[in-house]
Structure 1
Amino acid sequence: MALCLSTLHFSAYAAGNVTIYPQNQTIKNIDRLADLVTQPSLVNAWWPGAVISERKATATEEQQHQKLLANLAGFAAEEDGDDAAAINGVRQQMQAIHVTGRQFVDLDPDWVRVHPRANVPLQGDYSLWAGSQPTTITLMGLVSSPGTKPFVAGRSVDEYLDGIDKLSGADRSFAWVIYPDGKTQKAPVAYWNNRHVELTPGSILFVGFKERLFNSDFNDLNQQILNSLTHRRPD
């Protein structure tokens, strides 16, 4: 399981301004993270899936996402038949999402209050998505029927994929889970390496491209896609 860690971006001057979604409420002059996550309007927020992003970081992630879409279009143009159709299908899925400059920090109010180092300063312009707990997971990638699926407690990755056709060029031995907190896990799903890996509500289950022995550029696509999915803006 991999987790990218970063600190919140901040400048040297003013306190932070934060727009909270889905309320579309802007709060100004927030000094530290604890001042934000303890706002009364967030008392019912589901913190495992909350995302805070910073404006300048968002611009960077949007550029990376556009580069990914261009790369997918380029690879599709080099292929034909089922391979081209599969790549274009993934491109359409990725084109439908929005990315944001997610900051990988723990937003749980109890954690932030108890751990001073977690109570980082907020200086700049931020967005916070802190909705209710979802009841679905999202299936993406080289699969015949991408989209939201009901979350079932205890169900493993291979069970979610049971009966789902994989498209041309798909990795049939592994799939990726992107958890709501931004953690990712590579899950073995073939008969020879199967391991029980569970999802949580709001997770993304991504079936990527199989590795190509002589095409390192193509192999980088999976990591580019994972980067966009970990920076996906909540719906």
Structure 2
Amino acid sequence: MTIYPQNQTIKNVERLADLVTQPSLANAWWPGAVISEKQATAVAEQQHQKLLASLSALAAGEDGDDAAAINGVRQQMQAVHVTGRQFVDLDPDWVRVHPRANVPLQGDYSLWAGVQPATITLVGLVSSPGAKPFVAGRSADEYLDGIDKLSGADRSFAWVIYPDGKTQKAPVAYWNNRHVELTPGSILFVGFKERLLNSDFEQMNQQILHSLTHRRPD
């Protein structure tokens, strides 16, 4: 078992409680921690490479602003490192109190457990992707104020990917606006708008969401 970002190796970790109660993890920010398994990582990396190839093929079938926007998304996703995330609750108190949550760790695992970030990350068909300061109470649509959306972008909805891997579709247009707050470390993804008679773009959104939920913390 390897723990990042300390790059610490620990042994004799048979169950989840043995891991999350390690003294070296006393200050870990558990809502954003990620545990991954080696074989699952190989699968996630294959799926991520397939996504990058699909984006290249999609861009090749478009021209002008549409092609440029798709290639921009591909560049963003190329910088994302994925891992074989296991969707389990890592909160030590929860694991201690609920025996079913104390699952056995059979395999080759890694854990990313850093400190709470002070940013959110904007991804997708936007003019200025990247880290933005987290502001308590700010909703998805407010993070998008003043951000230009690129050709082919969905202007009615965006996706919030929370640090624990859960996702929520957030209405962000003036006609459907609903207050959906982000938490520190969240990702706000502006995807492709759905197009009649062409499901490629909706499938692409789902593939990108999959990679973002399996993103390895920085």
Which range, TM-score by smaller chain?
Answer: over 0.9
> Given the alignment, which residue of 26, 32, 35 partners 1:49?
32
Structure 2 residue aligned with 1:113 = 96
Alpha-carbon displacement from aligned partner over 1:170-223 (angstroms, at most 9, x marks no partner)? 000000000000000000001110000000000000000000111112320000
> Given the alignment, which residue of 158, 162, 183 partners 1:179?
162
Letter in 2 for 1:82: D
Structure 2 SS opposite 1:29: coil
Letter in 2 for 1:94: M
Matched, 1:80 2:63: yes
Q: Distance in 2 between matches of 1:27 and 1:171?
A: 45
Structure 1 residue aligned with 2:131 = 148
Q: Alpha-carbon deviation of 1:164?
A: 0.2
Q: Distance in 2 between matches of 1:92 and 1:187?
A: 24
Letter in 2 for 1:88: N
TM-score where L is the length of structure 1: 0.92
Matched, 1:204 2:187: yes
Matched, 1:27 2:10: yes
Q: Is the 8 A contact 2:16 2:105 kept in 1?
A: yes
Structure 2 residue aligned with 1:9 = none
Matched, 1:91 2:82: no
Structure 2 residue aligned with 1:157 = 140
**Which consecutive unaligned segments of at least 5 residues does structure 2 have?**
none
Instruction: Give aligned-pair identity as a percent.
Output: 89
Structure 2 residue aligned with 1:14 = none
Letter in 1 for 2:109: Y
Q: Distance in 1 between matches of 2:119 and 2:201?
A: 30
Q: Distance in 2 between matches of 1:213 and 1:182?
A: 30
Structure 2 SS opposite 1:149: strand
Where in structure 1 do 4 or more consecutive aligned residues deviate above 6 Å?
A: none
**Which consecutive unaligned segments of at least 5 residues does structure 1 have?**
1-17
Structure 1 residue aligned with 2:19 = 36
Letter in 1 for 2:195: R
Structure 2 residue aligned with 1:217 = 200
Letter in 1 for 2:186: S
Q: Is the 8 A contact 2:193 2:201 kept in 1?
A: no
